């Protein structure tokens, strides 16, 4: 590449960054050609729209994790502790994650390439689909990114828009990869069953490519215009039901169902998981609130049966909020929730 004139400091900065990263040879050659084009544009007519487009492309090429991966934590004991600390029950999912880790470990020991699986967490609202995806990433020691698909109306939001258009930009997949800084994160594709009808066919076509291990090793974002290897990404999708999901997409997903919670399970989760977190979240001390066992049945059913945990979580946080207000107002005595006083602390829905 020709020497860049000293007056083009911004271009020189891009060149320094470009030469400091490891890129595929063809992509490096493409980036260098774009740098030379920047110099010609700056010399001829200053900084216009074409200049900005080329500069943004080089910046994205530099900052994508083409060769950066995080080291997986493949300890089954460690994974079980993380999953158990975040989720009560759901043994089928925990078992499947540990099976996946075992296979990956054996493959790595043999020096064989391992293609990451793609999961569909299927369950009603509030049953823990999104939080389970977070926990899977934590258990593996991988970075985590989330792409909400609910209401998405254009496949280009995933695929990116070509630089020939004025509003060109990379798609959500590339944006997540740049943000997390590794090429093997856990990416949550949330609410895959709620894509708009107008764009469903196009978006489902992109999802087939993303989720298929035979295709995603060369995923092409229109803006970057160079294949990116997504075969090490663990894709996790969520849905309330499979009605709105294309058959071709379902064929590439391993479906794991999250069941509704019984009242007994909710009481256990409320006592051991939600209440301790809510107390800390509210700024209370752990001994500021005690709940008698006989009251928990009323706490878990303020509105009747609910398949998930969101109403229970809101109820518990509401109780803690009322007690926090009492503590700030003064003359506070530690609260023991019982059948005689629980109604004054339950939020009104």
User: What average pLDDT does range 160-173 have in this prediction?
Assistant: 90
Ordered domains of the chain (ranges, CATH): 9-63 (no CATH), 76-257 (3.40.50.300), 263-344 (1.10.8.60)
What does the pLDDT read at residue 53? 85
| Four-CA torsion 113, 253, 85, 73, nearest 10 degrees | 10
Nearest residue to 202 via CA among 168, 244, 158: 158
Residue 43 pLDDT greater than 80, yes or no? no
User: How does pLDDT run across 52-110, given as a tens digit for each residue?
Assistant: 888 899 999 999 999 999 999 889 999 999 998 888 888 888 888 899 889 988 988 88
Nearest residue to 171 via CA among 202, 132, 130, 143: 202
Residue 295 pLDDT greater than 60, yes or no? yes
- Residue 104 sits at φ, ψ, to 5 deg, of -60, -40
Q: Are 163 and 224 in contact (CB under 8 A)?
A: no
What does the pLDDT read at residue 303? 64
Task: Give me the numbers of helices (H) and strands (E) for the chain, helices first please.
Answer: 14, 9
User: What average pLDDT does range 208-219 have in this prediction?
Assistant: 91
Residue 304 pLDDT greater than 70, yes or no? no
What does the pLDDT read at residue 305? 64
On average, the pLDDT of the chain sits at 88
- Residues 6+ away with beta carbon under 8 Å from 143: 70, 137, 180, 181, 182, 185, 186
pLDDT band at 47; cut points 50, 70, 90: low
């Amino acid at each position: 590449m020709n020497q860049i004139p000293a007056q083009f400091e911004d271009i020189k900065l891009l060149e320094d960054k470009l030469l400091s990263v490891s890129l595929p040879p063809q992509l490096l050659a493409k980036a260098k050609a774009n740098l030379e084009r920047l110099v010609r544009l700056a010399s001829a007519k200053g900084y216009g729209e074409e200049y900005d487009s080329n500069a943004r492309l080089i910046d994205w090429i530099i900052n994508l994790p083409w060769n950066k991966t995080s080291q997986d934590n493949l300890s089954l004991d460690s994974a079980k502790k993380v999953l158990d600390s975040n989720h009560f029950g759901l043994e089928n999912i925990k078992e499947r994650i540990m099976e996946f880790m075992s296979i990956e470990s054996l493959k790595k020991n043999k020096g064989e390439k391992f293609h990451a699986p793609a999961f569909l967490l299927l369950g009603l609202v509030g049953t823990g689909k999104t939080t389970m995806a977070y926990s899977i990433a934590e258990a593996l020691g991988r970075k985590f990114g989330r792409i909400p698909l609910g209401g998405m109306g254009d496949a280009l939001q995933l695929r990116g828009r070509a630089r020939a258009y004025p509003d060109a930009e990379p798609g959500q997949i590339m944006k997540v990869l740049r943000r997390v800084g590794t090429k093997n994160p856990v990416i949550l594709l949330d609410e895959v069953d709620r894509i708009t009808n107008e764009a469903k066919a196009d978006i489902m076509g992109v999802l087939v490519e993303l989720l298929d291990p035979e295709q995603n090793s060369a995923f092409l974002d229109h803006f970057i215009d160079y294949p990116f290897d997504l075969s090490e990404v663990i894709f996790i999708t969520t849905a309330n039901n499979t009605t709105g999901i294309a058959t071709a997409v379902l064929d590439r997903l391993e479906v794991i169902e999250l069941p509704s919670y019984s009242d007994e399970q909710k009481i256990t989760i409320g006592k051991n998981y939600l209440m301790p977190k809510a107390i800390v979240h509210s700024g209370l001390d752990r001994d500021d609130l005690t709940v008698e066992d006989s009251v928990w049945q009323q706490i878990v059913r303020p509105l009747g049966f609910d398949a998930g945990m969101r109403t229970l979580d809101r109820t518990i946080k509401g109780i803690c909020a009322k007690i926090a207000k009492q503590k700030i107002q003064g003359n506070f005595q530690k609260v023991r929730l019982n059948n005689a006083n629980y109604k004054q602390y339950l939020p009104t829905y």
